[in-house]
């Protein structure tokens, strides 16, 4: 039998044998009937006055934040992700689940998974903060911003977090801008950078405005968030808008959410034909 791993003292499956029946972790555990530890802290004593968003972020980053930072993070979800409009693609899953009489948890679970999209939600989130972090690194090395943006456009034909499906203006930026300003958390390097990028893109033929993904990414990068931390924080960020969509649909007559007649299928395929067994 051929052996394809380089020979060493470890077996090819040593990662598995060393983990059999044991999980070494610093993330936490439930001590049955007694207590819970999360990232080295006792849940019941150290978090009894914490808001849910504080423990969510502690679970993601292992860090604690000031009350002003928490207000900023809370505002991101409240102002930027809580749209109870069932036409939006992820929310529509919640409405369809309601009209088809599925459960709330299935509705929200599926709609949350769907929010990890390419053209909205988690895809632009993760690519936006990645772009800003990379761009700032390059500028710090002395590379001109215009060159960085040109290179990015050449490579990806777009800039993550700029432009928007359906409409080119993002109404969430002003209220979020105002909140960050009120909290004195607006003037970090990444927020300045995202405005500089927008200025460049508006000047040129691209005519792309920043959307909320890049603005939030800039705010979070200024608070020290990494790519993964920002993405993970945003995963549940649309959920407050999903529940009303489900509730509305489940309270209306079953099947009555934007029903489609048979003739609403715009068929563009081949003409009617007869099955002739296999075409070997």
Partner 1 sequence: MMKDKENITSKIWMEEAEDNNPFLAKKSYLHGYDVFGDLLPNVSYIEYLYLLFRGDAPTDNQCKLLEIICIALANPGPRDHSVMAAMSSSVGGSGNAASLMAALAVGAGSLNGGRELFLCMQQWDISECDLDKWQHEIQSYADNPVEDVWPVATHCPGFEPHSDFIKTQTIQLLELLCEKTESQYLNWLNENMNQLSSISGAPISMVSVVSAVYKTLDFSAEQAEMFYLLSRLPGAAAHALEQQSIGWKKFPFWPNGIKLSNDPKK
Q: Of the listed pieces 27-35, 52-60, 74-82, 163-171, which binds partner 1 according to CB under 8 A?
A: 27-35
Interface with partner 1 in residues 235-274 (CB under 8 A)? 258-274
CB of 192 to partner 1, least distance (A): 22
Q: Which is nearer to partner 1, 133 or 240 (CB)?
A: 133
157 near partner 1, judged by CB under 8 A: no
DSSP label at residue 237? T
**Rounded-to-integer distance, Cα 170 and Cα 217, Å:** 15
CB of 263 to partner 1, least distance (A): 6
Interface with partner 1 in residues 205-224 (CB under 8 A)? none
Interface map 34-53 toward partner 1 (x if CB under 8 A) = -x-x-xxxx-----------
Largest interatomic CA distance in the chain? 73
Following DSSP, what letter does each residue of 43-103 receive, concatenated? HHHHSTT--HHHHHHHHHHS----HHHHHHHHHHHHHHS----TTSHHHHHHHHHHHTT--
Q: Of the listed pieces 28-36, 140-148, 211-219, 241-249, which binds partner 1 according to CB under 8 A?
A: 28-36
202 near partner 1, judged by CB under 8 A: no
**Rounded-to-integer distance, Cα 194 and Cα 104, Å:** 38
CB of 1 to partner 1, least distance (A): 5
CB of 2 to partner 1, least distance (A): 5
β-bridge partners, 37: 29, 42
CB of 110 to partner 1, least distance (A): 7
Residue whose C-alpha is closest to residue 113's, from 101, 123, 128, 103: 123
Q: Which is nearer to partner 1, 29 or 202 (CB)?
A: 29
Looking at 4, 167, 184, 253, which residue binds partner 1 (CB under 8 A)? 4
6 near partner 1, judged by CB under 8 A: yes
Interface with partner 1 in residues 86-105 (CB under 8 A)? 102-103, 105
CA distances from 152 to 19, 155, 159, 270 (A): 42, 5, 7, 41
* Number of residues near partner 1 (by CB under 8 A): 64
Angle, helices 122-140/212-222, rounded to nearest 10 degrees:
50
21 near partner 1, judged by CB under 8 A: yes
* Tokens describing residue 116: 């990890």
Following DSSP, what letter does each residue of 146-195 receive, concatenated? HHHHHHHHHHHSS-TTBS-SS-S--TTHHHHHHHHHHTT---SHHHHHHH
β-bridge partners, 35: 31
Q: Which is nearer to partner 1, 56 or 235 (CB)?
A: 235
- Residues interacting with partner 1, by CB under 8 A? 1-6, 11-13, 15-16, 21-26, 28-29, 32, 35, 37, 39-42, 102-103, 105-106, 109-110, 113, 116, 122-123, 126-127, 130, 227, 231, 258-280
């Amino acid at each position: 039998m051929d052996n394809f791993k380089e020979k060493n003292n470890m077996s090819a499956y040593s990662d598995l044998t060393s983990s059999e029946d044991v999980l070494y972790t610093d993330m936490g555990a439930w001590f049955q009937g007694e207590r819970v530890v999360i990232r080295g802290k006792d849940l019941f004593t150290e978090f009894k006055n914490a808001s849910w968003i504080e423990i969510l972020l502690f679970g993601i980053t292992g860090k604690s934040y000031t009350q002003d930072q928490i207000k900023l993070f809370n505002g991101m979800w409240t102002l930027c992700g809580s749209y109870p409009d069932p036409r939006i693609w992820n929310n529509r899953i919640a409405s369809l689940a309601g009209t088809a009489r599925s459960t709330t948890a299935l509705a929200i679970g599926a709609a949350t998974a769907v929010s990890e999209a390419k053209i909205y939600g988690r895809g632009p989130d993760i690519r936006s903060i990645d772009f800003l972090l990379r761009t700032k690194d390059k500028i710090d090395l002395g590379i001109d911003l215009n060159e960085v943006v040109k290179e990015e456009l050449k490579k990806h034909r777009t800039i993550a977090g700029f432009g928007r499906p359906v409409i080119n203006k993002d109404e969430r930026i002003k209220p979020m801008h105002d909140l960050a300003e009120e909290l004195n958390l607006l003037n970090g390097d990444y927020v300045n950078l995202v405005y500089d990028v927008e200025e460049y893109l508006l000047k040129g033929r691209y005519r792309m405005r920043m959307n909320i993904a890049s603005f939030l990414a800039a705010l979070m990068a200024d608070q020290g968030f990494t790519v993964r931390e920002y993405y993970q924080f945003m995963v549940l960020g649309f959920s407050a808008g999903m529940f009303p969509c489900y509730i509305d649909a489940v309270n209306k007559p079953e099947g009555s959410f934007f029903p489609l007649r048979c003739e609403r299928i715009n068929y563009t395929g081949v003409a009617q034909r007869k099955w002739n067994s296999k075409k070997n």
